[in-house]
Each structure stands twice: as structure tokens, then as C-alpha cells.
Amino acid sequence: MRISRKRRPKKLLIPHFNVNHKIEAEEVRILSIEGENLGVFSRDAALQMADEQELDLIEINPKAVPPVCQISDFTHFKYQKEKEARKQKSKQHVSEIKGIRLSMRIGKGDMDVRRKQAAKFLDRGDKVKAEIILRGAERYKTPLAYEVIRSFYTLLEEDYKVKYEQEPTRQGNKITAIIVRQ
């Protein structure tokens, strides 16, 4: 028995451009290949100019009045736009929230290991979520847990300019704080 899985359509890197006879506006502003303004022409005259140069008429800005079109080779134009989009996408970094789990009885060496791990996350531009899970009798010693998180924060402050995005708060049997780099 096969399981059907619907795949999402891939997101286009570039928006859809109307080309040649798909342009609906009666009058268009035309730009040359170099980007200089040639003026406002009727759609038919603009198509004729593009045909004479053996190029395409591409609608760049359909919302302008009149819409802006460029006379260019569409395949080259599309390639350039995709190249720009890929370049922008590669420079984006989506910051994630990385968790660091502490405990009430954490030793100095373990605290240093957690600090180094948090420093690595902060260097990458991620947020750090420090959390302590309270077990058993620890639930009645919450001030001590808050103190552990504050000491972890001061250790990070020695190396980086950090701030709380979310102050230490208790949610059930967990105490969490989100720390970000300034």
C-alpha cells in the first residue's frame, strides 16, 4: 500500500513577468537594454520596436502609470533576476532559538561548557534559550534556579554584549530565559 504525500509547489525565486503580447496596458513607458528612458509609447509600437531589435518587451513594473517595460532578451533578463535572488537568499540567516539546559546542581566545569556552546550559537546569530527543569523538591527552591540562570547570563556578559529577549520566567516546572546578542 502506497502512502500519498502531497508536495508543495516550489516557491518561485522571481515574480512572474508579462512578456510581449501578454502585456495588457495600452500605453507603456519603455527602457532600453542599458536602462535609459525612451519615453511613452503605445503597446503595439513598443512591440514593433522590440521585434526590430529581435528582443522581447518585458513588463518590469506593472503598477506604475503607465507600466514600465524594458526591451531586452527575456532569457538573459530572467537569468539575471534569478541570480540576484539566489545571492540575496544566500546572505539571509534565519535566527533559530537554540536550547541550553542547565540544572540547579551544575558544576563550574559544566557551566563553562554550556557558556562555550552558547557563545558559538550567539556568534552564528542565533538566540539562546537557557532552561532549568525543576524536579522533585527543587520545585520549592525556585530562587536558587533563578540565580543559576542569572550567573549563566553574567558569564555570557563577560564575552559578549547580550540582553534578555525574555526575562527568566517560570512555566510549570521549567524556568526559561531567552538571551540574544546586542
Taking the model in full, what pTM does it have?
Answer: 0.52
Q: How many residues does the chain have?
A: 182
- Identify the helix (H) or strand (E) that includes residue 39: strand 37-42
On the question of pLDDT at 9 being above 70, the answer is no
Q: Which residue has the higher pLDDT, 135 or 4?
A: 135
C-alpha closest to that of 18 among 76, 67, 65, 84: 67
Tell me: the pLDDT tens digits for 13-52? 667 788 888 888 888 888 888 878 888 888 888 888 888 8
What is the identity of the amino acid at 182? Q
Domains in the chain, start-ordered, CATH in brackets? 20-90 (3.10.20.80), 97-181 (3.30.110.10)
What span, in angstroms and rounded, lies between the C-alpha atoms of 118 and 100? Answer: 7
Cell of 60: 518590469
Tell me: the pLDDT tens digits for 142-159? 899 999 999 999 999 888
